[in-house]
């Protein structure tokens, strides 16, 4: 709908086009440096601030000749099931008894090919700490030219700060907290998304942009979803300018309403 109304070849605010913001780009560059000496990195942040975009950017590095990326996203599984996920990323099939040995051997094979190895674990705050401890012991046997990167919410650092887990925390070589964006950053993000698909920066009028930024509260995912939803509302009316009324049509949807507002609505 958006492409046909605006005459575009691709849509703005589309997750298929990953562009790192300055904060994410800085983390990515530092992570690359730590990968040269057996890094153990932790990237935390609230949901929607940009962890997934950063993780997917690093996963995309797997296309380069000198980089191998293996990842695990289903972190509520047991240690063995996580190993199977990693083995699947390495594209190896071995019996359970040889799984750890084969993962280590495969890692050394990649390093002999002069490749840098990234091991990504998403939603790491959901990991059982005993599982994480086993993974840490496993990766200590990996060759030095790799980086284990944990992506998770702030609870992850809370768990690692407990006395019983200090053996894990003391091995962290780099950590980063992805902060919510400020208003200027969000506005630049909106403008850049519009310019990428060759839409004018006046596609959203000033009042619409102000309301989007205020409602997003620094959350990149909320900003993207609100912009996309507002564009759809404008297209439904065959309008090429997104106004504050289109943004409000999205904000009245239940999932955008605050908990307190919903309670007041039910009481009324």
pLDDT per residue as tens digits for the range 79-98 = 888 888 888 888 888 888 88
Is the same domain home to 197 and 173? no
Q: Do 101 and 135 share a domain, yes or no?
A: yes
Tens of pLDDT, residue by residue over 1-57, are 888 888 888 888 876 666 788 899 999 999 998 888 888 999 999 988 989 889 999
pTM metric for this prediction = 0.82
- Exposure class string for 163-180: b at 16+ Cβ within 10 A, else e: eebeebbeeeebbbebeb
CA distance 203 to 241: 5
Residue 94 and residue 162 share a domain: yes
Distance CA 80, CA 45 (A): 27
Tell whether 49 and 35 lie within a shared domain. yes
Q: Which pLDDT value is given to residue 90?
A: 83
Clarify whether residues 77 and 91 are in a common domain.
yes
Domain count, the chain: 2
Does a structural domain hold residue 266?
A: no
CB 83 within 8 A of CB 21: no
What is the SS3 assignment for 209?
Answer: helix
- Maximum Cα interatomic distance, the chain, rounded to a whole number of Å: 69
User: Both 36 and 150 in a single domain?
Assistant: yes
Residue finishing a domain among 177, 202, 235: 177
Q: Which of 177, 192, 217 delimits the end of a domain?
A: 177
Whether residue 171 sits in one domain with residue 48: yes
Q: Per the domain annotation, does 196 fall within a domain?
A: yes
In angstroms, rounded to a whole number, what is the distance separating the alpha carbons of residues 166 and 189? Answer: 38
Q: Is 233 in the same domain as 203?
A: yes
According to DSSP, the β-strands at 39-44 and 174-177 are parallel
Q: What residues in the chain have per-residue pLDDT under 50?
A: 266-268
Predicted local distance difference test score (pLDDT) of residue 76 = 79
Both tokens of 29, joined, read 């560059």
Q: How many CB atoms lie within 10 A of CB 14?
A: 14
| In the block, residue with structure tokens 């309403």 | 257
């Amino acid at each position: 709908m958006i492409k046909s109304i605006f005459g575009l070849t691709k849509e703005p605010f589309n997750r298929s086009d990953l562009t790192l913001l300055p904060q994410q780009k800085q983390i990515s560059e530092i992570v690359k440096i730590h990968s040269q000496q057996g890094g153990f990195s932790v990237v935390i942040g609230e949901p929607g601030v940009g962890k997934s975009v950063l993780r997917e950017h690093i996963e995309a590095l797997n296309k380069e000749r000198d980089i191998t990326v293996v990842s695990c996203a289903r972190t509520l599984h047991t240690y063995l099931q996580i190993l199977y996920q990693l083995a699947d990323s390495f594209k190896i099939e071995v019996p359970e008894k040889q799984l750890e040995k084969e993962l280590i051997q495969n890692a050394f094979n990649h390093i002999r090919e002069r490749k840098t190895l990234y091991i990504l674990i998403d939603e790491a705050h959901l990991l059982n700490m005993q599982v994480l401890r086993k993974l840490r012991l496993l990766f200590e046997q990996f060759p030095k030219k790799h980086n284990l990167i944990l992506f998770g919410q702030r609870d992850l650092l809370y768990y690692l700060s407990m006395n019983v887990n200090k053996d894990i925390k003391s091995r962290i070589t780099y950590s980063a907290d992805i902060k919510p964006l400020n208003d200027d950053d969000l506005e630049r993000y909106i403008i850049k998304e519009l310019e990428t698909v060759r839409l004018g920066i006046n596609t959203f009028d000033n009042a619409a942009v102000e309301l989007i930024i205020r409602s997003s509260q620094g959350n990149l995912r909320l900003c993207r979803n609100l912009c996309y939803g507002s564009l759809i509302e404008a297209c439904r009316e065959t309008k090429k300018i997104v106004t504050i009324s289109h943004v409000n049509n999205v904000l009245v949807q239940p999932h955008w309403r605050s908990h307190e507002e919903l309670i007041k609505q039910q009481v009324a």
